Amino acid sequence: MSRPAAVIFDLDGVLVDSEKVWNEARRQLVEERGGCWREQAQRAMMGMSSLEWSRYMAEELGVPMSPEAISAAVVQRLKRLYRERVPLIAGAREAVASLAARWPLAIASSANRPVIELVLERTALAAFFEAAVSSEEVAHGKPAPDVYIEAARRLSLEPRSCAAVEDSGNGLRAAAAAGMLVVAIPNREFPPEEEALAMADLVLPSIAGFDADTLAAAAR
């Protein structure tokens, strides 16, 4: 790849410091409904589509609700918290603006579409992105490449011509499986496994300072 034709961002953990928020919302629901929370549950659900993680909560964590009801309940909690404050990661806005000045951008997220739309609206980042895809809109969540392939399709580009920015093990696997140039910004709370991190073409300590020149250099 001489240079990317577009950049596709994950949302949670890359632009928004939200993994703890998702973790707490899910844990509270499990405990309120008499399920059994497991410490490895959040890592297991990272990257899953809404149908996949809500089914996991029903079948593996013992929440006595349908997957659809679980997903809706968690999303309502997230939306309530985000209406109060969206925890945008320091440097995220500047990175997005720098990259958007040179390439079209898209979102490829495991979050439900209402959550994606609310975050982009509340942070005023929506204007920078030409497309946004939720994994609930494709057949399989991450680590399958479906959400990245669909994001590239909505930009009218081949996946191999795009760069992806990810923080989690399953996200890195998904972006690599799509054939994209992979930029890793490892999640500090739930760091990716070494074998997943090895799939990245560029590893950065944080999104602060990430800009178009940094990506162009990595692509060369």
Buried b (16+ CB within 10 A) or exposed e, 97-120: ebbbeebbbbbbbbbbbebbbbbb
d(CA 2, CA 55) in angstroms, rounded, equals 41
The full DSSP string for 61-83 is: S---S-HHHHHHHHHHHHHHHHH
Q: Please tell me what DSSP assigns to residue 159.
A: G
Tens-place pLDDT, residues 152-207: 999 999 999 999 999 999 999 999 999 999 999 999 888 999 999 999 999 999 99
**Cα angle, residue 126 at apex, residues 138 and 153 outer, rounded to 5°:** 35
Ordered structural domains, the chain, with CATH: 6-17+87-219 (3.40.50.1000), 19-84 (1.10.150.240)
What's the pLDDT at 206?
Answer: 96
Tens-place pLDDT, residues 92-151: 999 999 999 999 999 999 999 999 999 999 999 999 999 999 999 999 999 999 999 999
For the entire predicted model, the pTM comes to 0.88
Beta strands 105-109 and 162-166: pairing type? Answer: unpaired
What's the pLDDT at 43?
Answer: 84
What's the pLDDT at 189?
Answer: 84
3 pLDDT more than 80:
no
Report, in angstroms and rounded to the nearest whole number, the Rg of the chain calculated over CA atoms.
16
Task: Give the residue numbers marked as catalytic.
Answer: 10
Confidence of residue 2 (pLDDT cuts 50, 70, 90): low
Contact 41, 26 (CB under 8 A): yes
Which residues are CB-contacts of 72 (< 8 A; sequence separation ≥ 6)?
none
1 pLDDT more than 70:
no
Contact 123, 14 (CB under 8 A): no
